Amino acid sequence: MDKFKLEILTPNGVIYNDDAVSVVLPGEEGEFGVLAHHASLTTLLEAGVIDIEKKDKSVESILINWGVVQVDEKKVIVLVEGAVAIRGDSESAIANALEDAKKLIKDIADSNPAIASVSAKLESAASRLL
């Protein structure tokens, strides 16, 4: 599988900067997936979960509240405002991340009607890890 460079940046620093095989992004017009050699594209993201498939087939999920993505042939840059990565080495670490993520959801719940589906996705992302 071809891979591409994926960068996810928040105002508080880099949250992901590595190669990825595919990434699914919550676009404003609906979810879309990006593979290597995708045509260049710039669009906005809404609150949702970014699913990254890495080289070793593992999947990482990152919850975001708003973002913009710039895709070109070589790399994908995602700028997000607030993000929580659902990852951790132990169950408690994952539970903590999930807790943070739920907090972020609460913050954005008022402004977004599609939030229920986001929490559902989040739960499934977490259960995959546990």
Binding site for other proteins (CB under 8 A): 7, 9-14, 27-29, 32, 39-44, 66, 68, 70, 72-73, 77, 79, 81
Positive or negative, the CA dihedral 107, 108, 111, 113 is: negative
d(C-alpha 105, C-alpha 87), whole Å: 17
Nearer CB in complex with other proteins: 3/32: 32
Closest approach, Cβ 63 to other proteins, in A, equals 17
- Closest to other proteins by CB, 100 vs 129, is 100
Q: Are 55 and 62 in contact (CB under 8 A)?
A: no
Complex with other proteins: residue 28 or 99, whichever CB lies closer: 28
Q: Which two tokens stand for residue 8?
A: 């996810």
Q: Which of residues 7 and 100 has its CB atom nearest to other proteins in the complex?
A: 7
Q: Cβ(115)–Cβ(47) under 8 Å?
A: yes
Query: In whole angstroms, how close is the CB of 42 to other proteins at the nearest point?
Result: 6
